[in-house]
Structure 1
């Protein structure tokens, strides 16, 4: 299975690739994509300079150099939805993409991957789609967690769920701590999702969107209420 980590930052791409690189039958690469208005080369150069001052510099650069030497790092100089980028992705013949960039995927980009693109959504699907879903879950007294599913061009409406994991909010004193806990599970859950996809008996769970609703960004006032709930 050829897997590409679609990353907006070098560190995120290498971190996720490192998590999944030892799965039997998985060949992993990193695709660095152009996100935002700033020049991607300037952004990645700044990222490397910041990493230079960290204690993890040696490990990070060794792993990055290893991927570069083996031809496992690909750079999209144009936006992800640009026809040139899509054509390039198709030529690489990846089976699965892993979402690790702050982008919205169009159907043409998704279809460049044989099976599609996986997303680690910090909410329990199908009930919680959209934005601020961890906060809305707390406000409504529901458990928090992460769902790994194949996306489509809608907002968390992709029909194929690979796995869901309930992750308790206990010990998180505010929204930021809760979101950090949920996001920190993404690498491990991507690995588990790929392992599941490799099993002959695996079957998808249906993302029945009629069983949930789309949520929007929570207001500051309600976020304050959620912080109170978490701190008590």
Structure 2
């Protein structure tokens, strides 16, 4: 029986938010959905003008942030990512998410004063981060018990940015970690680390997508245990904080070599 009130903090149209919502519903959990409102789509001209900016953002953030923009390694990684998400395997995983109902309370920002007031008024026990950026400490503290976040890497070794890159760089098994969320980055107590079984036909992009799914499912699993009163034992989280800017081409090349070895050993 669910004893505690859950609140999911997500984004309109975000695939990871949909994954978390689907995993919670599959477990029969009741929750309130708070959604950051997405930008409204403009006309055809506006959408066309947005494409170059979208491409620029993609090449200057995340995995590509520290990579030289004219290298073969960067070009290959970028094209492989685009082709993977347009392929059958990724489409088969993502297609069911479109049917997930996302009826929730829409707020301007997860850190908006309205969000804080809603959390305080509803007296939620547990907050679940599902695709939002850094959440203000005042919002986190408004929850009665705790907030939970899932990180796509084993903790405490791979805190922060470049989660999968650093996992592979250190020769570790890809995993999803659920931890108590604080105002810091991936620094709260670790509640669960679930390894991701690798497949012979895996590559970086397939692992990355399956890790996202595993994060959503592990987050829902821990939330269910806490909400139904099951004790969850935590462990300290004192790992070094990593940043995307440190995921240089040398580090990423080493990570890909380690991945090939992991797959070869299967």
Change (3 A) 1:228 1:150: same
Change (3 A) 1:231 1:148: same
Distance 1:193 1:57 in 2: 25
**Hey, what does 1:142 align to over in structure 2?**
172
Distance 1:172 1:91 in 2: 49
Residues 96-115 of structure 1, C-alpha deviations (whole Å, 9 max, x = no match): 22212241011111122222
**Hey, what does 1:215 align to over in structure 2?**
242
**Hey, what does 2:107 align to over in structure 1?**
76
Return the structure number with greater relative CO, CA threshold 8 A, min gap 6: 2
Distance 1:80 1:191 in 2: 20
Distance 1:150 1:173 in 2: 30
**What are the ranges of 5 or more consecutive residues in structure 1 without an aligned counterpart?**
35-39, 44-53
Change (3 A) 1:200 1:31: closer
Change (3 A) 1:130 1:90: same
After superposition, residues 22-33 of structure 1 pair within 5 angstroms as 22-23=26-27, 26-33=29-36
Change (3 A) 1:220 1:16: same
After superposition, residues 74-223 of structure 1 pair within 5 angstroms as 74-77=105-108, 79-159=109-189, 161-171=190-200, 173-198=202-227, 200-209=229-238, 212-217=239-244, 218-223=247-252
Name the structure where strand makes up a greater proportion of residues: 1
Residues 61-83 of structure 1, C-alpha deviations (whole Å, 9 max, x = no match): 5x52xx64xxxx11102x22222
Distance 2:139 2:12 in 1: 19
Tell whether 2:40 aligns with 1:42: yes
RMSD: 2.9
Match 1:17 to one of 8, 14, 21: 21
**What are the ranges of 5 or more consecutive residues in structure 2 without an aligned counterpart?**
42-90, 262-266
Distance 2:164 2:97 in 1: 33
Tell whether 2:222 aligns with 1:224: no
Residues 104-142 of structure 1, C-alpha deviations (whole Å, 9 max, x = no match): 011111122222221111121222211113222222222
TM-score (normalizing by structure 1): 0.75
* Kept in 1: contact 2:178–2:218 (CA 8 A): yes
Distance 1:108 1:172 in 2: 44
